Chains A and B, each alone.
Chain A
Amino acid sequence: MSDVKTRFEVRRAGPLALLQDAGRFGVRRLGVTQGGPADPHAWAWANRLVDNAWGTTALEVTMGGLELDVTQETVIAVCGADLGATLEGNSLPLWESVRVRAGQRLAFAQPVNGLRAYLAVAGGFAAEPVLGSTACVPREGLGGLDGLGHKLEEGDRLGTETPTGMPDAGRRAPDDVRPDYATTPRLALLPGAQIAEFEGRSLYQAFNTAWRVDERADRMGVRLRGPQLRCRLGGMISEGIGLGAVQVPPDGQPIALLNDRQTIGGYPRLGALTPLACGRLAQCLPGQDVHLVATSRERAHSEHRRFRAGFR
């Protein structure tokens, strides 16, 4: 990594800023979780605006509070949540590539719209992959800047790989890919094998209720509050859990499992949110409402293909 140049120094770390590539794959059988960006849509757009390939390491900023000093000129893009980001005190345009210069300060304040912002930089952030990935999972002590799963801390120096060419500034994502995270999302869910084990009334409620995002929400999973769902199955023998699985423990309150979930679990599931629905849920603040909407495998598959086709 001799080509790595320090581009930023962390002045204030904020509550949670994590380096994330696409995720850690092929090792879930060892009990190692997936990691990766909680909102792949915003993460992928940030990378794309600075000419980075799919999978390039970007920074996931949750809630805000992060302040970076630019130590060397480069081009960045921030997509996803509006966390009141500023450059030298001026409002930073989101979903747009921006040239930053040595001595400037990039600061994130607090959530204005959405919860997680993605900062991508030309060439991508440099970090040594651990088990094939830079994805930072503090609970497992894997990934991130030092490989040991530490979130960003004050004083950290962020280097980047040397980009093949400097991307243009002022490149904007089309308006129709920029969600308004304050609206109530309809989250596409693929029904799973245990869905028939839920009582009829519970099934009706599952798809006709405004579910409230609970305080207990993080990168492992998001609890939803609403009517108590009843399932004829009690506990199950633990089995693998995919991204977006919506499990229902005995208290009847669903939990949508996200990137840092445990790899196996034993609660019955309504089904699984699509990856894009997971990303949309990950932008919701506690207290916000969401709807679950059943979708078909064909539809989810073609939506996913359309999404991925936009990124190289």
Chain B
Amino acid sequence: MSAVLPRLEPAGLDGWMVRLFDAIDEANMPWLTALVRRCEASFGDALVDLVPSYTTLLVVFDPLAMAPDEARRRLMTLLADLQPDEAGDDAEPRELPTWYDPSVGPELERLAERANMSIEQVIEQHSQAEYRVFALGFAPGFAFMGRVDERIACPRLETPRRRVPRGSVAIAERQTSAYPLVSPGGWNLVGRTSAVLFDRHREGFSLLSVGDRVRFVPVSRAEFERLGGDTRGMEANQ
């Protein structure tokens, strides 16, 4: 592992925070996903929840089934010989078909102006990169992905929108995401994906998981519609 030694920090009555790294890095993710798998195997029924995120893994256990000290010892053992889980890296990245258009991506123009690029170049920048899912949060299935090329990175809107349409593809600073459900949001919208990011009837529920590699694949309006995408503009979603 890198120079950082994992630390175990108290996180309430039923949790330990495993701090593996100090900085955001794609290379963290195979370590975190490996630890997730090992916890699942080791804690069994005493495991309540796991929340991997950027540099940490929050392990939530049932304090009636496992004493906090026992959970701590268990984690120390798992960490002692942890190896990164590179298995996912051989798989093809997840592809999110995305219709990039000012009617569904009202900040495309703003990003282009800031970067001194054409809208086409912004789209190219965003869609040619491969991103890594660092964390899920904010809403069910909302994946924080990075890192966006510095030239098209952009701070959040000063006033968040009250309703961001479902599927909206967005950028905030050097992160990108897609909104699984209609929700308030302050990220810069650049397009819309036809991918269903969260589905309560699908196995696993969320299309994306922490550690996944992801690409946004530009599609035409016709293709986007064919894939079931919602072409209605921002006004229709207010």
Contact = CB atoms under 8 A, between A and B. Distances in A.
Interface of A: 25-32, 34, 130-131, 139-142, 147, 190-193, 237-245, 262-265, 271-275, 297, 300-301, 304-305, 308
- Main secondary structure, interface of A, reads mixed
B137 A264 contact: yes
Contact of A28 (B19, B50, B142): B50
B146 to A, nearest CB: 12
Given A29-B209, A31-B142, A190 B136 contact: no
A274 B63 CA distance: 12
Contacts of B64: 304-305, 308
A141 B181 contact: yes
Contacts of B12: 190, 192, 242-245, 271-274
Contact of B17 (A130, A240, A301): A240
A304 B19 CA distance: 26
Nearest to A273: B12
A134 to B, nearest CB: 13
30 contacts: A27-B205, A29-B210, A30-B206, A31-B136, A31-B137, A31-B140, A31-B141, A32-B140, A32-B205, A140-B181, A142-B140, A142-B200, A190-B10, A192-B11, A193-B9, A238-B53, A238-B135, A239-B54, A240-B51, A240-B52, A241-B58, A242-B12, A242-B58, A262-B137, A263-B137, A264-B135, A265-B137, A272-B11, A272-B12, A301-B67
B193 interface: no
Contacts of A193: 9-11, 17, 19
Contacts of A25: 48-49
B13 interface: yes
Interface of B: 9-15, 17, 19, 23-24, 36, 47-58, 60, 63-64, 67-68, 135-142, 144, 181, 198, 200, 205-206, 209-210
A249 to B, nearest CB: 16
A151 to B, nearest CB: 17
A122 to B, nearest CB: 26
A245 B47 CA distance: 19
A127 to B, nearest CB: 14
A97 to B, nearest CB: 26
Nearest to A244: B12
Nearest to B68: A297
Contacts of B181: 140-141
Contacts of B15: 240, 242, 272
A39 to B, nearest CB: 16
A195 B188 CA distance: 35
A239 B17 contact: yes
Given A301-B63, A301-B68, A237 B58 contact: no
Nearest to A190: B12
Nearest to A140: B140
Contact of B24 (A237, A240, A275, A300): A237
B174 to A, nearest CB: 13
Nearest to A300: B13
Contacts of A34: 49
A26 B136 contact: no
B13 A240 contact: no
A25 B55 CA distance: 22
A13 B7 CA distance: 48
Contacts of A32: 140, 205
A263 B51 contact: yes
Contacts of B67: 301
A193 to B, nearest CB: 3
B13 A272 contact: yes
Contacts of A27: 49, 140, 205
A140 B12 CA distance: 25
Contacts of B205: 27, 30, 32, 131
Contacts of B11: 192-193, 240, 242, 245, 272
A190 B13 contact: yes
B138 A262 contact: yes
A29 B142 contact: no
A34 B51 CA distance: 12
Contacts of B57: 240
A93 B15 CA distance: 38
A166 B66 CA distance: 35
Given A31-B138, A131-B200, A242-B60, A264 B53 contact: yes
Contacts of A237: 23-24, 53-56
A24 to B, nearest CB: 10
A272 B205 CA distance: 29
